[in-house]
Structure 1
Amino acid sequence: MSEEVFCVQKIKEGDQMAFCSFVELYSKDLYYFALGYVNVRELAEEVVSDVFLEVWNNRARLDEIIHIKSWLLVLVRNKAISYLRKEQPDTTVSFDEIDDFHVPLFQSPDNKMISREEIAKINQAIAALPPKCKEVFVLAKIEKLPYKKISEMLNISVKTINVHISKALNIISGILYE
């Protein structure tokens, strides 16, 4: 039994220590993902807190979830859009209208090998991507989710994901090698 499955089972039983481990395991990734939507640190923290509260409140059904991280990312995305709608109650907000989705700073475990200038240039290149292309790129290349999961999350085809990734890599390489 994997550690994640064991943790989910313990959470389902109401084990608060297991839930704390679960929160610690996913909170950083979810926070940065939320920040990409809402652009305000406090709001991103609130989104993630609400997602974990929802997870705790629905812990009895956790074992029904096949891919926990994908499910959590969908929850964060939906909560973030809900928060944006609350901020602008007279307008309808959809992902296609969120032009300022951004990627928090790219952090590499090999930071010692990559200079700060190179990291800054990579971040600028990612920031220059169109919003949907950027979201797909982040999920595929930074979050390392399988294309099939991204397809299900965003309700787009795997072929469309390939197009977005190809476009993103072309834009990024063009900027990096100018």
Structure 2
Amino acid sequence: MPADVSDITKNLLPLVAAGSEKAFRQLFHLYADLLHTYIQSITKSSELAEEVVQDIFLQIWISRETLHNIRNFRSYLFVISRNHALNIIKQLIRENRRIKQWEESKALHADSDPEHLEYRLSLIEEAVRRLPPQQQKVWVMSRKQGMKYSEIAVATSLSRETVKKYLQYATSSIMQYVASRIDLLVIFLLFIRR
């Protein structure tokens, strides 16, 4: 890294630690593209890399008072970014496993009876209607309209991170609602058949 960037960073860190938004923006512009490229090489996703960069700089701003303790900001930035990216990848893998398990479980319990399929679909629709309005809107835009986080963020004037959280909450609520109703149906059917 050129000495001038290192010197600029050393001058910016105390200003950011003191709460200067201008210095923070300069620090962001100084490292954002470089960090994005690095994280994209790990995640193989530009969208995920953008998310990590935003998360990391948000965290830096939140904990800005501790910046005076950092001796090599560039190394610090790359280490925490790599760790954050790996944690997100692990989280996505866990989420994909849960979805796959849920789909496999759903397939195992799938009944060829159209009434049962219709019942399950009606449960999903009912669960969606029970969501808070913003979560419902985000879920519909994502799952039914196929929009990406960034597109939903623009359409709803929400941050991309908020869209992501709303979608996670909505999906979890829907899955819990449907699973609890299907479990009740299975129990009910077991008792009726005896």
TM-score (norm 2): 0.45
Highest RCO, 1 vs 2 (Cα 8 Å, sep ≥ 6)? 1
Higher Cα Rg: structure 1 or 2? 2
TM-score (norm 1): 0.49
Between Structure 1 and Structure 2, which shows a larger proportion of helix residues? Answer: 2
